Structure 1
Amino acid sequence: MENAYGKLAAWVYHLDKPIGHSFGDLEYYRERLAGCTGAILEPATGNGRILIPLLESGLDIEGFDASEEMLHYCRQECLQRNLNPRLTRQKFQDFTGPRRYEAIIMPAGSFQLITDTASALALLQRCYDNLLPGGRLILDTDNSKEIIQSKGALRSWKVSDNERLTLSSSDPDINYVQQTTLTYLRYEHWQDGLLTHSELDLFCLRWWGIHELTFALRAAGFTDVIVSGGYQHGRAPGNDDAIISFEARRP
């Protein structure tokens, strides 16, 4: 299954990207949302890496994710901190909320998990429809160079003295026409030197050109599109920026 984030994938994600771990995105979103008094939504909230620190900053933020395993970690971490945000299991293509939002955020390239172009455009429209007038959509994309030039690797995480998780990834299969990559990920759980469980995940991403995504946002009805490089708001992206951020407003 594509981008499934099953039990082992979610476990690895939580070990590798714990709550508050930042690539520069946490500080960026905290700054961009400063002064926001209305509700905020984070689709694909995952284990709460971004959502929980923003909650602790006093923001009214909720999230959803398609993976029950990822939501388990998010709920567990919230419980440990006496936080009780609204967390639901939903998918990009049909999410609904009980209210409209002052901001919708998609950090860390989660928008690129949607590889079908029509579905991605429909999500932008759904975000627009779920924002209050004046509300903002803020999302990140990986530079296409970072996606295309990525290489397969083997990584491991020590869980205990006799327990380890490993992740092996293939070189990406690149479709230049569809602007997508497909990477095979194998997660393995080892205990006392024996393999106890493994999962295969098909990890798919779509890359976007800056002008292409800007046009898509405007086609959905957004205005005041600002494109920034390297988590420096308002600075035009450069060729070497790993992350490109988009901010757009519903009029």
Structure 2
Amino acid sequence: MSAYTSLEALLHDAFWADEGEPVELAMLDELLRGHPGPSLEIGCGSGRLLLPLLQKGHVVEGLELSRDMLDLCRNAAEALGLAPVLHEGDMTVFDPGKTYHSLLLPAFTFQLAPDPAAALAHFHRLLEMDGLLYLSVFIPMAELHRELPEGEWYEDHRTSLPDGRAAAVHTRHRLDRKNRVLEREHRYELLTADGKVESEHLSSQTLRWFTPRQLRGLLEKAGFEAVHALADFDPEFPVDDEAQIVTVVARKRPPGTLGARAAGPPKKKKG
């Protein structure tokens, strides 16, 4: 059950569109304006973030494992008069023969890496010295707190399509709490106007999650220092153990230097 192919790829943007303008777009735009230079978005998918960044004048290439998603990205880019540089490949072994000024891993892409430590070490090699790494990760609070039934199918999302049909995705999950692994199965359905299933597609994915402290440790061991971190996409929220989403900007540091601790939870004041 491959991820981000077939019906899953086709319906991907329809589900995201219900969320409104991507909250990470403004963050990435600000980051690249303050740190201009050739960048790579890892897991660019259909171009939901990549194409708007190109429209804003940033120099960003895209890397994506799914050929179906890349086809959607090329079609969308052509309609906008854009010609992005796109690469098909696995983020853990991708070798373009050059380095980048920044690497962008929005939308929890990093959590799909089967070996997070090895992935970060590889990203370190893809960056220029003082290059920046942007990534966002989430903790599956609803699953951990048993707000969603483990091992049972439930409707995750449903949306209406412009042609009168509807789309739905049902999810079933399993948690490995000890190793912090979330296994998900998805059943994507395309529905006729009267609610009958026209076609469906099954996919699965394995995600890993980290506490802020664990993420900080992984970054430091890979040769990064965290220079900025925020919780739940809100700069006023502290990055502590209550954060559901953690976004980090880290810098590739020179060999032999110590990393910062911006990604870890702040010390609590006494009293």
TM tier, smaller: 0.7 to 0.9
Deviation at 1:219, TM superposition (A): 0.8
| 1:221 aligned onto 2:220 | no
Q: Do the aligned residues in 2 keep the contact of 1:155 with 1:166 (CA within 8 Å)? A: yes
Deviations along 1:171-206, one digit per CA (max 9) or x if unpaired, are: x21101220111221112234655332211113211
Structure 2 match to 1:134: 130
Deviates more, 1:127-136 or 1:70-79: 70-79
**Partners in 2 of 1:162 and 1:222 — Cα distance?**
49
Pairwise CA distance, 1:112: 0.9
Which stretches in structure 2 are left out of the alignment for 5+ residues? 149-153, 254-271
Letter in 2 for 1:123: A
TM-score for both structures, normalised by structure 1: 0.88
Aligned in 2, Cα 1:98/1:162: closer, same or farther, shift over 3 Å?
same
Counterpart of 1:210 in structure 2 is 212
Partner in structure 1 of residue 159 of structure 2: 157
SS state at 2:228 partner: strand
Q: Give secondary structure in 2 for the equivalent of 1:208.
A: coil
Runs of 4+ in structure 1 over 6 Å off: none
Matched-pair contact (CA < 8 Å) for 1:144–1:208: no
What is the distance in 2 between the residues matched to 1:44 and 1:29? 14
CA deviation profile, 1:88-121 (whole Å, cap 9, x unmatched): 111122112242111101111111122x3xx221
Q: Structure 1 37/31 Cα, relative in aligned 2: closer, same or farther at 3 Å?
A: closer
User: What amino acid maps onto 1:129 in structure 2?
Assistant: R
State the Cα deviation string for residues 117-150 of structure 1 (Å, max 9, x = none): xx22111111110101110101001134255346
Partner Cα distance (2:76, 2:142) in 1: 31
Cα pair distance change 1:136/1:154, threshold 3 Å: closer
AA aligned opposite 2:251: R
Check the 8 A contact 1:146/1:242 in 2, yes or no. no
User: CA offset at residue 76 of structure 1?
Assistant: 1.1
Q: SS state of the match for residue 33, structure 2?
A: coil
Assess, with a 3 A threshold, how the Cα gap between structure 1 residues 102 and 234 changes in structure 2: closer, same or farther: farther
Q: Distance in 2 between matches of 1:241 and 1:25?
A: 17
- Residue identity over aligned pairs, in percent, reads 24
How many residues are matched?
Answer: 246
What is the identity, as a one-letter code, of the residue corresponding to 2:190? H
Change (3 A) 1:42 1:147: farther
Shift, 1:155, TM fit? 3.0
Indicate if the aligned counterparts of 2:167 and 2:191 stay in contact, CA closer than 8 A.
yes
**8 Å CA contact retained: 1:163, 1:192:** yes
In structure 2, C-alpha distance between the alignment counterparts of 1:235 and 1:156, rounded to whole Å: 30
Q: Give distance in 2, aligned partners of 1:82 and 1:147.
A: 42
Aligned-residue offset at 1:63: 0.8
Question: TM-score, length-normalised on structure 2?
Answer: 0.82
RMSD, matched Cα: 2.4
Distance 1:33 1:8 in 2: 33
Partner Cα separation in structure 1 for residue 22 and residue 144 of structure 2 = 20
Instruction: Sort the Cα spacing of 1:86 and 1:161 in 2 relative to 1 into closer, same or farther, 3 A.
Output: closer
Deviation larger for 228-237 or 25-34: 228-237
What residue number does 2:259 align with? none
Q: Which runs of 5+ in 1 are unaligned?
A: none
Structure 1 residue 159: deviation in Å?
Answer: 3.0
Report the CA distance shift for 1:154/1:134 in structure 2 as closer, same or farther (over 3 A). closer
Could you tell me whether the CA contact under 8 Å between 1:148 and 1:181 is conserved in 2? no
Asked if the contact 2:41/2:105 (under 8 Å) is kept, the reply is yes
Give 1:234 shift.
8.5
User: Distance in 2 between the 1:202 and 1:224 partners?
Assistant: 31
